[in-house]
Amino acid sequence: MENFESRYDEDECVARIEARASKYLTKASFISRPRRSVLSPPSIPTKDFDAVVLSNSLVGYGDDISLDNMLIIENLIKFAKLEANAEVPDVSDAEGWYLAFLKCMEEAGCLVADAGYNAYDKSSLQLTMDNIVTDIILAGVNAAKAAIPAAGVLGAIADSTLSALKKEPEAITLFNREVVKARGGRLAVMPCNQLKNGAIITSLWSIRATTVSNDSGVLFFDWKSSGRGIFYGNAYITFNPQRYAGIRDKIESVVNGYFSAALSRRFARYKG
């Protein structure tokens, strides 16, 4: 991954994001609503609160990423989630959502690499979904290490974020509620870090479990895998933060106006 930027040039990215944002910014409901002009904790990431649940997505930040770059990548993730949700409203179409999310990230200026969507071939075993999520992330990291040296760090960030989530009652309750809205369950894990050249790197693990019914009263991570179809997408994403200036106003206007604060819960990735 020597190149860190989208196949679209800056002007084209600006035009594409403006077109996407215009769908929201011209709505009467947006024009009439009060603005949140100043973002304050816990609305923005901090070094103390370096992980966040965003609906059914779990985002964790590494030690090397700056606060500015945390906010940049989080806003891009929120914007792409809004767009993918709008374009693929069928919660059972996990692959369609995954591809729509990645397309929006690319049009915002990200380089998307090694994207693929596969069936999990161990779903017949009696594993928990916790085992499966961990196995999918580990396999993806091991496969990518040669081409993407930073993949190993992203795997460690994902692991510590998942571990910390399970110790945060409010965060895991929100995450679990959003994950199981899709029959069977759908989630995403996105660890983020910063490279030495200042570029942001993240990975997307998008996981879908299908079933005839959900296990009522049981956390998604404790579900048994037997009898479920399990599918996952895995992609690595980089972004040059210098390209954010051209799309900042549009992205943040949409995110601040439409991404519900009730779907967000911050927590600390590390426990003292």
- Stated as kind and residue range, the H or E segment containing 231 is strand 229-239
Predicted confidence band at 212 (pLDDT cuts at 50, 70, 90)? low
- What is the phi/psi pair of residue 205, to 5°? -110, 110
Q: Residue 208: what pLDDT?
A: 93
Average of per-residue pLDDT across 69-76: 97
For 250-267, the pLDDT digits (tens) are 999 999 999 998 999 999
10-28+46-267 folds as: Delta-endotoxin CytB (3.40.198)
Average of per-residue pLDDT across 43-64: 93
Q: Residue 228: what pLDDT?
A: 83
Whether the pLDDT of residue 210 is over 50: the answer is yes
Whether the pLDDT of residue 145 is over 60: the answer is yes
For 93-118, the pLDDT digits (tens) are 999 999 999 999 999 999 998 888 99
Whether the pLDDT of residue 236 is over 90: the answer is yes
* Other residues' Cβ atoms within 10 Å of the Cβ of residue 207: 24
Whether the pLDDT of residue 272 is over 60: the answer is no
Average of per-residue pLDDT across 58-83: 97
With residues binned 3-state (H G I as helix, E B as strand, rest as coil), the percentages for the chain, rounded to 5, are 45, 20, 35
Whether the pLDDT of residue 213 is over 50: the answer is yes
Q: Residue 38: what pLDDT?
A: 45
Whole-angstrom Cα distance, residue 261 to residue 250?
A: 18
Mean pLDDT of the chain: 88
Residue 64 vs residue 30, higher pLDDT? 64
Whole-angstrom Cα distance, residue 151 to residue 138?
A: 10
pTM strictly above 0.85: yes
DSSP codes joined into one string, 119-133: E-TTTTS--BHHHHH
Q: Residue 30: what pLDDT?
A: 53
Residue 211 vs residue 52, higher pLDDT? 52
Whether the pLDDT of residue 233 is over 80: the answer is yes
| Percent of the chain at pLDDT exceeding 90 | 66
Predicted confidence band at 34 (pLDDT cuts at 50, 70, 90)? low
Q: Residue 214: what pLDDT?
A: 55
Whole-angstrom Cα distance, residue 168 to residue 212?
A: 29
Q: Which residues lie closer than 8 Å to 78 by C-beta, 6 or more apart?
A: 54, 255, 259
Predicted confidence band at 41 (pLDDT cuts at 50, 70, 90)? very low
For 147-200, the pLDDT digits (tens) are 788 888 999 999 999 999 999 999 999 999 999 887 778 999 999 999 999 999
